[in-house]
Structure 1
């Protein structure tokens, strides 16, 4: 993955990590298309960041994804990078089904089926490009669970294994599969997270991600230093301690300190 000269589609990038990464990549000489559900947010992005293109897309809707893919490829036939950024993170209480089933279903729809459908919509085109990239977005919580977000944790663990698996399948193509593994980042993903001292400042996170891409364009995973506490807990042999530490925080810090992908 090269840091410049790409044409990049980032669905789910109207705020947070997605938008910050879109702006940074645009400044590095890439053509960037931002996707999102809300037309007013897309209009604001075009006004504030004239270098970005936009397209309306709902990643929970198959027809919307198909229409967005057709629109993006018609306007940008040289597209060579898909960053599946869209995601939600909601708390659940599994003591009673009325409190968690609907939330769990929405989380799976957005965090797992969304990326699968997006990849499905673009994979044939990407295989026709000589330097294509699919970037998935998992989480430190794919490797260590946060008690209050079971389905979020599960979808991010699934994204990790999906990334590992499709990388093997696509090894005979020109498509590179890169997994971005964020730690806690100061975004609005969870209440209180934007100002949490536990979470990593957004600009610092994106700057480190860009640096990682520059330093290792063949990387399979992009891991900023701060996510290592979660990502490598099992291999270090302190998994139980990390789980206890993560889940011992007060509710607001726990939510804010969890993750931002």
Structure 2
């Protein structure tokens, strides 16, 4: 995706926060100053009250001299970001304009295009677009910045990231690529042991590889983990797939290899 017009400050949050002007990275100062910037960027041009900023960055127990710290960090950001970026006090709060969160905008465009392609049956294009959206990630959301509001955003974006990954892997399986991705699914299920959609995709990939007994074992492992951690049974989608595996649903079987005539 593009860097934007010349002189525009492009910020990125799909990993450690960074800001770039004409491709050159801008030093953003100490961690709390960077956290202030991240919080203000995510307002997308809306005004954030002083109390709201303090709560977002420090939580319910800010340091005694927090007002001085806010003023210090705002001044530091104004110097760092330079001309073309306006960080102003509006009378009711702080507002940041003139800086774009480039990677979030790029991701939103790619995901929207992937969804549109999926809805029109263009599975291969949808998978490629979803892969490009994943490649924008450089780490966790706003990685390394400690602030209560950013911690909550980090969880929200981790969920969004996983949802897109699941959609891509579903497409990969539909394209006949179970062999290439079954090991990734095994790793993801181990990393997210209570996430039923990943277990479902792993079971589907195993069935496509002619391994229904392994698919049943994957189901049983997920069922046991859910029972132990939450006292719950798998949801309807996973139970339905389990039933289809048990009755050897032909749609779950590997596609037959083409017969090559001899002679």
| TM-score higher than 0.5 | no
Q: Which has the higher strand share?
A: 1
Give the number of the structure whose alpha-carbon radius of gyration is greater.
Answer: 2
RCO higher in structure (CA 8 A, sep ≥6): 1
TM-score (norm 2): 0.29
TM-score (norm 1): 0.29
Q: Which has the higher helix share?
A: 2
